[in-house]
């Protein structure tokens, strides 16, 4: 992919994004950039706002304030019709795979192809075969999602996300619930495909091994705020205690995972 | 809530008529699949329910008319009630219980499993892709099912009158046709069409609104059935008033 094809040096740029649900502030002044051809991982504990952030980028949610640029186009102000044009340029791998259970694997991958243009079904079949081959699932076209394993579902979802040769790939917890081998398979696939197809990718994850394996850039969120950004080496060397506790998986530290006896008593008396 | 319902309904009806204005046509295979799910598969239950109500109407009517010595009025009662009210009403009740609930549960599960969001992200409008075939199938099949139900109900009334009440079969038919006008048939079918629209939009709306996993799907399905029944009865009252009393 040549640089001249792009309108902006950044595939995705988020500026000062904030969002509250009722009194709870989920995202507070989040900013980061993803350069073309890079893989950025958004990390953080459960409930830190990383999936919400991704949903804002893909346009499922609208922010209270802040801007999101996809290859230089500001997407937060676009209406549904205009956004659907931008969406054609990206693929999304959902946490659960989000395959259509009533359709076969082949029909799932063919869906975006057939819906986006008047492609003849036999051409779509050919593209489906190619995409399934990319993810190592040749010959699985006629099986239903219920007949294949969790890891295979994720790979089919990846094939579907790649169906329209997107410039941008978004993955929401692509390795959650998978065994270490399958996690590694999905990671390798993400890295290989982004390199081979010249895509950029944003991967939301709380799996540190996986994040360090694939990322060229990292963003760490804590309670809706960006605590650290940088390359994997910079993140590893960052002395921030919250970040270090998360990377090393310590139970004790500044992240309030468990209330102490005193805090528990205090809260109980307050309520 | 009402606003969101109105928005979805308007969007769905606009999408139904969009092919008339040069936009991409209906997904015929999806439409036929829904017509089979909603319509063809409901036929045995609709027929049975109408058959039983036809029998009940004839027997209850005979009990009352016998006291007046006017048993032959049973034909008028059965035909009149089935065409105007019972046929469309009981058919809609069956369709709500059988197909309406399944629409909400199916769409709700798709919502929970992120399938609807996936459609959105792929640039496919979920209303066009999921709601339109279901709503259109409801609009087309509700009148068809009503005609079937009415036919079976009328036959049941005739059968019980001829066999148990010993009425003359030809005389019964003569009485029945004299008691009703063509308008009664058309108004019954108009009601069926309107019921189809109400049930289709309400059940799709609740399905698309589901949040909170399996529990959410269960709650939405209950709400969809209760709201569809109430809205259908309110629509029935409104149409009866408009057609027969104004």
Ordered by start, the domain boundaries in chain B are: 28-241
| Lowest model confidence (mean pLDDT) among A125-134, A165-174, A255-264, B21-30 | A255-264
Please enumerate in sequence order all residues whose Cβ is within 8 A of that of A191, keeping only pairs 6 or more positions apart, or say none: A39, A213, A214
Residue A247 falls inside a structural domain: yes
Number of Cβ within a 10 Å radius of residue A257: 10
Structure confidence at residue B37 (pLDDT): 92
Which residue segment(s) compose the domain that A65 sits in?
3-89+197-270
Cβ <8 Å between A84 and B117: no
Please say if the pLDDT value at position A83 is more than 70: yes
Question: What's the farthest any 2 CA atoms get from each other in chain A?
Answer: 69
**Mean pLDDT of all residues belonging to chain A:** 87
Average pLDDT over every residue of B44-70: 91
Residues of A with CB below 8 A from B125's CB?
A: 84
Contact yes or no for A224/A27 (Cβ under 8 A):
yes
More confident residue, B32 or A268: B32
Structure confidence at residue B173 (pLDDT): 92
Residue A79 falls inside a structural domain: yes
Domains in chain A, number: 1
Of B117, B123, B129, which is closest to A98 when you measure between CB atoms? B117
Cβ <8 Å between B123 and A111: no
Using CA coordinates, name the residue in chain B closest to A161: B122
Contact yes or no for B38/B30 (Cβ under 8 A):
no
Of B110, B114, B125, which is closest to A94 when you measure between CB atoms? B114
Residues of A with CB below 8 A from B122's CB?
A: 87, 92, 111-112, 115-116
Banded pLDDT at B33 (limits 50, 70, 90) = very high
**Token pair of A106, please?**
């082949």
Structure confidence at residue A2 (pLDDT): 44
Among left, alpha and beta (phi > 0; psi -120 to 50; other), residue B27 is beta
Cβ <8 Å between B113 and A88: no
Banded pLDDT at B87 (limits 50, 70, 90) = very high
B153-180: per-residue pLDDT in tens?
999 999 999 998 888 999 999 989 998 8
- How many whole angstroms separate alpha carbon B122 and alpha carbon A160? 9
Residues of A with CB below 8 A from B110's CB?
A: 100
More confident residue, A55 or A177: A55
Of A60, A85, A96, which is closest to B113 when you measure between CB atoms? A96
| Lowest model confidence (mean pLDDT) among A116-120, A220-224, B114-118, B157-161 | A116-120
Structure confidence at residue A1 (pLDDT): 45
- How many whole angstroms separate alpha carbon B159 and alpha carbon B177? 16
Banded pLDDT at A48 (limits 50, 70, 90) = confident
Residue A62 falls inside a structural domain: yes
Residue A122 falls inside a structural domain: no
Contact yes or no for A53/A44 (Cβ under 8 A):
no
Q: Does any CB of chain B come closer than 8 Å to the CB of residue A79?
A: no
In B164-210, alpha helices (H): 169-179, 182-208
- Closest alpha carbon to B106 in A110, A112, A100: A100
Average pLDDT over every residue of A222-234: 91
Please say if the pLDDT value at position A41 is more than 90: yes
- Closest alpha carbon to A50 in A234, A177, A203: A203
Q: What is the ipTM of this complex?
A: 0.78
Banded pLDDT at A207 (limits 50, 70, 90) = confident
- How many whole angstroms separate alpha carbon B77 and alpha carbon B57? 8
Helix (H) or strand (E) holding A28: strand A24-35
Q: How far apart are the first and last CA of chain B?
A: 31
Q: What residues of chain B, 104 to 133, have a C-beta less than 8 Å from chain A?
A: 110, 113-115, 117-118, 120-125, 129
A103-132: per-residue pLDDT in tens?
999 999 999 888 887 788 888 899 999 989
Distance from CA of B143 to the nearest CA of A (A): 28
The share of chain A scoring above pLDDT 90, in percent, equals 38
Please say if the pLDDT value at position A216 is more than 50: yes
Cβ <8 Å between B114 and A111: no
Which CATH number do you get for residue A212?
3.40.50.300
**Mean pLDDT of all residues belonging to chain B:** 92
| Lowest model confidence (mean pLDDT) among A16-30, A244-258, B23-37 | A244-258
Residue A230 falls inside a structural domain: yes
Helix (H) or strand (E) holding A127: helix A121-134
Strands A39-43 and A73-74: unpaired
Residues of A with CB below 8 A from B120's CB?
A: 59-60, 87
């Amino acid at each position: 992919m040549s640089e001249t094809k792009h309108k902006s040096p950044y595939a995705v740029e988020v500026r000062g994004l904030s969002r509250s649900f009722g009194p709870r502030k989920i995202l507070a002044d989040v900013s980061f950039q993803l350069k073309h051809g890079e893989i950025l991982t958004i990390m953080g504990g459960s409930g830190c706002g990383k999936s919400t952030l991704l949903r804002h980028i893909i346009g499922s949610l609208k922010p209270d304030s802040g801007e999101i640029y996809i290859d230089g186009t500001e997407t937060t102000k676009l209406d549904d019709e205009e956004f659907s044009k931008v969406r054609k340029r990206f693929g999304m791998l959902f946490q659960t795979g989000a395959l259509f259970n009533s359709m076969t694997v082949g029909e799932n991958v063919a869906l975006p192809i057939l819906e986006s243009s008047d492609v003849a079904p036999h051409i779509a079949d050919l593209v489906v075969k190619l995409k399934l081959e990319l993810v190592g699932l040749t010959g699985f076209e006629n099986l239903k999602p219920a007949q294949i394993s969790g890891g295979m579902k994720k790979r089919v979802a990846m094939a579907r996300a790649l169906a329209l040769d997107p410039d941008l790939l978004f993955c929401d917890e692509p390795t959650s619930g998978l065994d270490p081998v399958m996690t590694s398979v999905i990671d390798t696939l993400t890295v290989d495909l982004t390199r081979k197809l010249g895509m950029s990718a944003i991967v939301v994850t709380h799996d540190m091994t996986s994040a360090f394996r694939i990322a060229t850039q990292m963003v760490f969120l804590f309670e809706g705020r960006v605590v650290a950004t940088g390359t994997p080496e910079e993140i590893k060397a960052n002395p921030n205690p919250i970040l270090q506790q998360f990377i090393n998986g310590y139970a004790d530290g500044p992240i309030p995972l468990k209330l102490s006896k005193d805090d528990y008593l205090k809260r109980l008396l307050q309520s | 809530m009402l606003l969101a319902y109105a928005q979805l309904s308007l969007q769905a009806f606009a999408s139904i008529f969009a092919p008339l204005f040069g936009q991409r046509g209906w997904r015929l295979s999806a439409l036929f699949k829904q017509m089979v799910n909603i319509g063809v598969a409901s036929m045995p239950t609709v027929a049975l329910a109408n058959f039983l109500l036809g029998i009940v109407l004839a027997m209850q009517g005979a009990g009352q008319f016998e006291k007046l010595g006017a048993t032959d009025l049973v034909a008028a009662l059965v035909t009149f009630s089935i065409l105007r009210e019972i046929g469309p009403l009981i058919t809609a009740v069956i369709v709500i219980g059988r197909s309406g609930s399944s629409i909400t549960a199916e769409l709700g599960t798709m919502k929970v499993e992120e399938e609807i969001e996936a459609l959105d992200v792929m640039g496919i409008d979920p209303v066009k892709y999921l709601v339109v075939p279901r709503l259109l199938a409801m609009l087309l099949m509700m009148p068809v099912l009503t005609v079937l139900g009415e036919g079976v109900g009328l036959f049941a009334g005739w059968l019980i009158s001829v066999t148990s009440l010993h009425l003359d079969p030809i005389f019964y038919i003569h009485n029945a046709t004299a008691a009703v006008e063509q308008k009664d048939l058309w108004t019954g079918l108009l009601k069926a069409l309107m019921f189809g629209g109400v049930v289709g939009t309400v059940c799709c709306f609740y399905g698309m609104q589901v949040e909170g996993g399996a529990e959410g799907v269960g709650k939405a399905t209950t709400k969809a059935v209760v709201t569809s029944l109430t809205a259908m009865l309110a629509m029935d009252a409104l149409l009866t008033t408009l057609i027969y009393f104004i």
